[in-house]
Amino acid sequence: MRTQVAIIGAGPAGLLLGQLLHKHGIDNVILERQTGDYVLSRVRAGVIEQVTQDLLDEAGVGTRMHRDGLVHEGVQICVDGVRHRLSFKELVGKSVMVYGQTELTKDLMDGRAAAGAPTVYSAQDVALHDVLTARPRVSYRAEGKAHELACDFIAGCDGFHGVSRKSVPASAITANERVYPLGWLGILTDTPPVSDELIYVRHPLGFALCSMRSPTRSRYYLQCSLAEDIESWPDERFWEELKPRLDDEARARLVTGPSIEKSIAPLRSFVAEPMRFGALFLAGDAAHIVPPTGAKGLNLAASDVQYLARALVEHYAEKSDAGLDTYSERALKRVWKAERFSWWMTMLLHRISENSFDRNIQLAELDYLFRSQAAATAFAENYVGLPY
Ligand code: FAD
Ligand code: DHB
């Protein structure tokens, strides 16, 4: 089999890239290790930046998001039981969309099916070959048979644990990493949200987040230890640990109910540099991870894809490699700013240190954020997403 661009991974990065390339008549095949149903069952991101929304519209998959998504013009931060609101609309004239990654992935999958573009699900033993030559190949097994896909370029969109980044010799890649001694325990419930807006909670007992998927479906997170066993978190325990971290009004409005999903995600900051090796281009979680606090992971995957899709279109339509040659540098500039913001928000809101100096710095920084228009504007500018 032959294609122009072989895409590894059918997460948001791979599917969005495939859709944008297809729009410009560039052939692509996606190889995904899991089944489509499994990919759709992973409950993850919920906040979509304005620039990501624009890109989804450009890919022709934004209709349902605009119909069912919730436009949020601000966010709330609760510090030790007192809630504060930061208005994106007033500070930077923008908003974000609350729309689940599962729904977005479904829209992208439906768009791909409508375009008739090929995706091989349950592709096993995906391996990259000859990436430093002009004739790269990808081998894999599907339905018990060995296959080979010849291509011009490979897009490594296979997430943090994927094969693409690991195919690059260790000496050619710099891994910048920071691991936090924390995880997020998340639950999804068919209960109305405690508030119309997200509430990020800083509390001596630990961080919490009240988010949502719709007016009848809530998503809550609690800071937990990395050693936590999900079996030791029956729903009742989750609610009992959440309640004392909330302010009185949120606590009074909290409707508890059975969880329909529960999972633990570790917190990590990671950036691999560069993001290109010959014919292989890394995009999304394959190249970098942010702790979820700033809601940036999915949005960064989209911004990488934006740079990469434009560069590939330039290569095929204008016979110019300028975009491909600067892809890594341009993508990384935005990645590092989102890494900084995600690290900062994580350190600001979690119980990480037992040192009273660190605790007081956190509180001083939060007080500054609520009192200074300049600090609030910088926060809003980053949260809604920096321009491409
Ligand atoms: P992935 O979604 O990981 O997709 C990679 C795909 O590659 C997967 O389908 C995988 O099965 C496949 N794959 C892996 N290995 C192979 C292989 N060897 N061969 C073939 N296929 C392979 N981000 C936000 O922007 N906003 C948020 O609010 C937010 N909240 C989050 C909350 C949680 C709890 C978590 C865990 C994450 C959150 N994120 C958020 C991050 C976001 O979910 C990820 O950054 C996003 O999924 C990255 O997309 P991706 O396509 O790069 O990678
Ligand atoms: C959600 C996840 C995040 O990481 C975040 O910062 C905000 C919302 C969510 O899943 O709804």
Q: Residues 12, 292, 315, 327: which is the catalytic one?
A: 292
Ligand 2 in contact with 291 (CB < 6 A)?
no
Tokens of 267: 């917190």
> DSSP states of 17-76 as a string?
HHHHHHHTT--EEEE-SS-HHHHHH-----EE-HHHHHHHHHTT--HHHHHHSEEESEEE
Ligand 2 in contact with 292 (CB < 6 A)?
yes
Q: Residues 200, 220, 221, 327: which is the catalytic one?
A: 200
Ligand 2 in contact with 219 (CB < 6 A)?
yes
**Top mutation candidate among 158, 261, 304 for ligand 1, by most atoms within 8 Å of CB:** 158
Sheet of strand 288-289, all strands in order from the earlier edge strand to the far edge: 82-87, 74-79, 199-202, 208-214, 217-224, 174-189, 259-273, 288-289
Supply the pLDDT for residue 43: 86
- The answer to whether residues 49 and 65 touch, using CB atoms and an 8 Å cutoff, is no
Supply the pLDDT for residue 288: 98
pLDDT digits (tens, 9 = 90+) for 98-117: 999 999 999 999 999 999 99
294 C-alpha to ligand 2 centroid (Å):
8
220 forms beta bridges with 187, 210
**DSSP 8-state secondary structure symbol assigned to residue 106:** H
pTM of the model: 0.97
Judge whether 316 counts as a catalytic residue. Answer: no
Supply the pLDDT for residue 374: 98
Which parts of the chain have pLDDT scores under 70? none
Query: Ligand 2 atom 5: the closest Cα is on which residue?
Result: 295
Q: Looking at the CA of 7, which ligand is closest?
A: 1
Sheet of strand 70-72, all strands in order from the earlier edge strand to the far edge: 47-48, 96-98, 70-72
263 C-alpha to ligand 1 centroid (Å):
14
Supply the pLDDT for residue 330: 98
98 C-alpha to ligand 2 centroid (Å):
9
178 C-alpha to ligand 2 centroid (Å):
20
